[in-house]
């Protein structure tokens, strides 16, 4: 079952969901696979399709991954916050963002499913560099997030497990061949508590646009 959303509504209301993830409602595998079938239509460099997708339902493995994420998040969330000018919505929302990020770090393991998208290779060995490397994975990942939203589910693109040796530890937990595949994030997946998400406050497009020169 999909939500009655226009394309524009889907694009403007797919949020990073943290506190509104329903940890108690199971997520059927068939829904996860429906979303993946859609995401796999995304473009990849030279049509390589070098991606692999790891879904984690096992409670002990989720707990172990959650502990790695929480350990890395504790240090990151204590770092100084960026300073923004008066009236800048980013500064106004910073407290709420940090609060929800802390909540997710503490409850990551409670999500019904964790998903880790992987891409073949390691960034530091790519002849065309990191941009080309990740461009073969990230469009599909965002398509997956959009597909989740269209079906009443949510997620949040997190990367803190990748630092301080965390990626290698998670690879060992899940049997991911670390030297052959890079992890592109850690996604808690759950149905959302309500589906009434709204567009976020963003900087005006006019402030971010350049024509012909910077």
Say if residue 193's pLDDT is above 90.
yes
For the chain, percent of residues with pLDDT exceeding 70: 100
Give the pLDDT score at 15: 97
Give the pLDDT score at 52: 98
Burial track 13-50 (b if 16+ CB lie within 10 A, e otherwise): bbbebbebbbeeeebeeebbebbbebbeebebeeeeeb
Give the pLDDT score at 183: 98
Give the pLDDT score at 181: 98
Give the pLDDT score at 207: 94
Kindly indicate the confidence band of residue 1, based on its pLDDT and cuts at 50, 70 and 90. confident
**Mean per-residue pLDDT, 177-181:** 98
Looking at every residue in the chain, the average pLDDT score rounds to 95
Alpha carbon distance 121, 23 (integer Å): 33
Q: Where are the alpha helices (DSSP H) in the chain?
A: 7-13, 29-39, 59-77, 89-107, 129-135, 138-150, 166-174
Give the pLDDT score at 97: 87
**Mean per-residue pLDDT, 114-123:** 97
- Per-state percent for the chain, helix, strand, coil, to nearest 5: 45, 15, 40
Alpha carbon distance 38, 46 (integer Å): 19
Taking only the tens place, the pLDDT of each residue in 17-32 is 999 999 999 999 999 9
H helices then E strands: how many in the chain?
7, 6
Say if residue 194's pLDDT is above 90.
yes
Q: Which CATH class is domain 17-79+92-197?
A: alpha beta
Taking only the tens place, the pLDDT of each residue in 82-116 is 878 777 778 677 778 899 999 999 999 999 999 99
Say if residue 198's pLDDT is above 90.
yes
Give the pLDDT score at 89: 75
Per mean pLDDT, which range of 75-79, 119-123, 156-160 is the poorest?
75-79
Query: Domain map of the chain by residue range?
Result: 17-79+92-197
Give the pLDDT score at 79: 79
| pTM for this prediction | 0.94
Residue 92 is encoded by which pair of tokens?
């106004």
């Amino acid at each position: 079952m999909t939500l009655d959303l226009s394309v524009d509504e889907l694009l403007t209301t797919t949020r990073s969901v943290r506190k509104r993830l329903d940890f108690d409602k199971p997520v059927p595998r068939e829904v996860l696979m429906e979303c993946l079938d859609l995401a796999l239509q995304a473009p990849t460099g030279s049509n390589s399709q070098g991606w692999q997708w790891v879904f984690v339902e096992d409670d002990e493995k989720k707990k172990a991954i959650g502990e790695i994420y929480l350990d890395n998040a504790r240090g990151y969330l204590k770092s100084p916050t960026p300073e923004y000018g008066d009236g800048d919505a980013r500064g106004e929302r910073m407290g709420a963002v940090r609060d929800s990020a802390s909540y997710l770090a503490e409850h990551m393991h409670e999500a019904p499913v964790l998903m880790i998208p992987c891409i073949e290779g390691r960034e530091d060995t790519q002849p065309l560099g990191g941009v080309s490397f990740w461009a073969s994975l990230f469009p599909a990942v965002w398509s997956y997030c959009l597909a989740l939203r269209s079906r009443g589910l949510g997620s949040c693109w997190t990367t803190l497990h990748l630092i301080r040796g965390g990626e290698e530890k998670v690879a060992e937990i899940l049997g991911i061949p670390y030297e052959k595949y890079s992890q592109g994030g850690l996604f808690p997946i759950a149905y959302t508590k309500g589906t009434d998400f709204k567009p976020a406050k963003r900087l005006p497009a006019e402030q971010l646009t350049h024509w012909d020169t910077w």
